[in-house]
Amino acid sequence: MLMVKSCSVQNNFRNWSSRSLAGKWRHGFFYFLIRLGGHKLAYLFLYFIVFYFTLKPSVRKKASYYLARRFPASKGVRKFLDCYRLNLNFGKILIDRAILAILGEMDMETTSEHRKIVFDLLAEGKGLIMVTAHVGCWQLAMSGLDFTGVPVDIVYHHDQEDVDLQSLGHAKVSHLFHFIDPCSPLGGTLDMLESLKKGHVLCFMGDRVFGSKKNTVEVNFLGQKARFPISAFKIASVVGAPVVVVFAYRTGPSSGKMKLMRLIRIERNHGRNSEEYKPYVEEFVKALEGFVQEFPYQFFNFYDMWS
Partner 1 sequence: MAIKQKLKKILVEELNLEDVVPEEIDDSAPLFGPDGLGLDSLDAVEIVVLVQKHFGVEIKNLEEGRKALQSISTLADFIESRSS
Nearer to partner 1, 91 or 211 (CB): 211
Among 44, 81, 123, 190, binds partner 1 (CB under 8 A): 190
Q: Does 7 bind partner 1 (CB under 8 A)?
A: no
Work out whether 272 is an interface residue with partner 1 (CB under 8 A): yes
Q: Is residue 216 part of the contact set for partner 1 (CB under 8 A)?
A: no
- By CB under 8 A, is residue 189 in contact with partner 1? yes
2 Cβ contact partners less than 8 Å away, ≥ 6 residues apart: 185, 186
**Binding-site member from 9, 44, 55, 123 for partner 1 (CB under 8 A):** 9
CB 108 within 8 A of CB 143: yes
Distance in Å, CB of 3 to partner 1, minimum = 8
Residue in 56, 172, 214, 225 binding partner 1, rule: CB under 8 A? 214
153: helix, strand or coil: strand
Least distance CB 2 / partner 1 (angstroms): 5
* CA distance linking residue 258 with residue 194, whole number of Å: 26
Q: Which residue type is seen at 89? A: N
Task: Say how far apart CA 244 and CA 33 lie, in whole Å.
Answer: 37
Identified binder of partner 1 from the candidate list 235, 245, 264, 285, rule CB under 8 A: 235
Quick one: 91 or 187, whose CB is closer to partner 1?
A: 187
Please state, in angstroms and rounded to a whole number, the distance separating the CA atoms of residues 173 and 254. Answer: 15
Nearer to partner 1, 59 or 239 (CB): 239
- DSSP, res 167: G
Among 32, 225, 271, 294, binds partner 1 (CB under 8 A): 271
Output b/e per residue, 37-66; b: 16+ Cβ within 10 A: ebbeebbeebeebbeebbeeeebbebbbbb
6 near partner 1, rule: CB under 8 A = yes
Q: Is the Cβ–Cβ distance between 244 and 121 less than 8 Å?
A: yes
Residue selected from 1, 36, 77, 171 as contacting partner 1 according to rule CB under 8 A:
1
Nearer to partner 1 among residue 2 and residue 36 (C-beta): 2
Residue 68 interacting with partner 1 (CB under 8 A): no
Instruction: Please identify, using beta-carbon distances, which residue of 41 and 186 lies nearer to partner 1.
Output: 186
Instruction: Output the DSSP codes for 245-294.
Output: EEEEEEEETTEEEEEEEEEE---TT--SSGGGGHHHHHHHHHHHHHHHHH
Amino acid at 2: L
Residue among 69, 239, 262, 295 that touches partner 1 (CB under 8 A): 239
Footprint of partner 1 (CB under 8 A):
1-2, 4, 6, 9-10, 184-194, 211-212, 214-215, 231, 234-235, 238-239, 269, 271-273
